């Protein structure tokens, strides 16, 4: 039976229901109000940051993603539709909740003049330690999303997410972890709802298998994905038309923020004028230069160095939460807000 509890300020949605529609129905029922709230916020942001003139145009842009999701994974499609039905939010509106950044990239205005006030994005680190591989990220998004952060506990995975979203980053029972951070594509197209790609990749038993899921998926816009396990790691930069493995080798530390590190992939994306991406990457580099973290807890605490404080009442980008994963012990640390300044909640698979 599904439950919703809060630990250290972090809402935790435990879903023991069967995969597919039953799981979605439980999610939608327990988080109905929050799902409607985050939709209203993201609709407001879509109309502010793009050249889409009204809600009807936003929903027309969202609709084609539903068939792509069904073709990608019927079971995830049924879960998605269960969330929609139980929450009373239409499937097209739920696409906006899940796929906001990529939908935004479809806008001509967004392509031509990225909002300079959008400092944006997530900071990612993979590092080998004395006891095995650790992977983690901050989740930096419009600060108004922080009130809707959740952890989804499934029988076979732990997912960092927001209400109504299939899952944004996570760890599965096989010790495969995945992180994401946004890239602003200039070649965006209709594609797979990206949280469904995360869920699809986390059905893999190895990082190499998860890498192939990403490389073969009908991706619509830009993200950097890291997939890793106890033996391997792959960092993949994507856009609407290109995908490229740019990082691999589990004996090395790998870092990423919100600009392409690969010269070829950099031609597919733009960086807002006031982006903090370069500054945060330098912060990660300075951190590891002084000694790389040697545990999941140390990584969690150290992410304070790239934390972005929230301005209450504002949509300005902020660190809304974090997830750090020990890929050998198969446990994860998560929080709402800036890690190190907020307590970690521990999850074990």
Residues of the chain with pLDDT > 90, as a percent, come to 90
Which pLDDT band holds residue 116 (cuts at 50, 70, 90)?
very low
Q: Does the structure show a pLDDT above 90 at 118?
A: no
Residue keyed to tokens 């995969």 = 19
Q: What is the pLDDT of residues 56-94, one digit of tens each?
A: 999 999 999 999 999 999 999 999 999 999 999 999 999
Which pLDDT band holds residue 110 (cuts at 50, 70, 90)?
low
> Rounded to whole angstroms, what are the CA distances from 256 to 3, 81, 135, 237, 244?
35, 33, 12, 10, 14
Residue keyed to tokens 């205005």 = 109
Which residue from 320, 337, 275 is spatially nearest to 120, judged by alpha carbons?
275
Q: Does the structure show a pLDDT above 50 at 271?
A: yes
Q: What is the pLDDT of residues 29-41, one digit of tens each?
A: 999 999 999 999 9
d(CA 235, CA 238): 10
Query: Average pLDDT of the chain?
Result: 95
**Biggest distance spanned by C-alpha atoms of the chain:** 54
d(CA 163, CA 6): 14
């Amino acid at each position: 039976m599904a439950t919703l509890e809060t630990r250290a300020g972090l809402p935790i949605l435990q879903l023991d229901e069967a995969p597919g529609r039953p799981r979605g129905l439980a999610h939608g029922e327990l988080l109905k109000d929050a799902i409607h709230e985050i939709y209203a916020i993201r609709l407001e942001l879509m109309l502010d940051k793009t050249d889409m003139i009204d809600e009807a145009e936003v929903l027309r842009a969202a609709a084609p993603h539903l068939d792509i999701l069904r073709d990608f994974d019927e079971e995830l499609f049924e879960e998605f539709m269960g969330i929609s039905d139980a929450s009373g939010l239409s499937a097209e509106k739920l696409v906006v909740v899940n796929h906001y950044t990529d939908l935004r990239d479809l806008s001509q205005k967004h392509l031509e003049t990225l909002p300079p006030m959008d400092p944006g994005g997530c900071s990612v680190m993979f590092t080998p330690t004395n006891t095995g591989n650790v992977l983690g990220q901050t989740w930096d998004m419009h600060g108004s999303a922080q009130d809707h952060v959740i952890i989804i506990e499934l029988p076979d995975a732990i997912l960092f997410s927001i209400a109504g979203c299939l899952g944004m980053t996570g760890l599965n029972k096989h010790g495969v972890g995945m992180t994401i951070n946004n890239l602003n594509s200039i070649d965006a197209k209709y594609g797979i709802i990206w949280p469904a790609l995360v869920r699809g990749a986390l059905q893999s038993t190895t990082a190499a298998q998860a890498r192939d899921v990403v490389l073969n998926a009908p991706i619509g816009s830009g993200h950097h994905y890291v997939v890793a396990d106890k033996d391997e790691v792959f960092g993949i930069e994507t856009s609407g038309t290109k995908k490229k493995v740019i990082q691999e080798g589990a004996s090395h530390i790998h870092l990423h923020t919100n600009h392409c590190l690969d010269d070829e992939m950099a031609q597919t994306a733009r960086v807002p004028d006031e982006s903090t991406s370069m500054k945060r990457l330098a912060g990660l580099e300075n951190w590891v230069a002084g000694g790389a973290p040697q545990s999941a807890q140390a990584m969690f605490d150290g992410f304070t160095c790239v934390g972005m404080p929230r301005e209450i009442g504002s949509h300005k980008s902020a660190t809304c939460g974090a997830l750090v994963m020990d890929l050998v012990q198969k446990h994860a640390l998560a929080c709402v807000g800036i890690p190190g300044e907020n307590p970690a909640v521990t999850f074990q698979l």
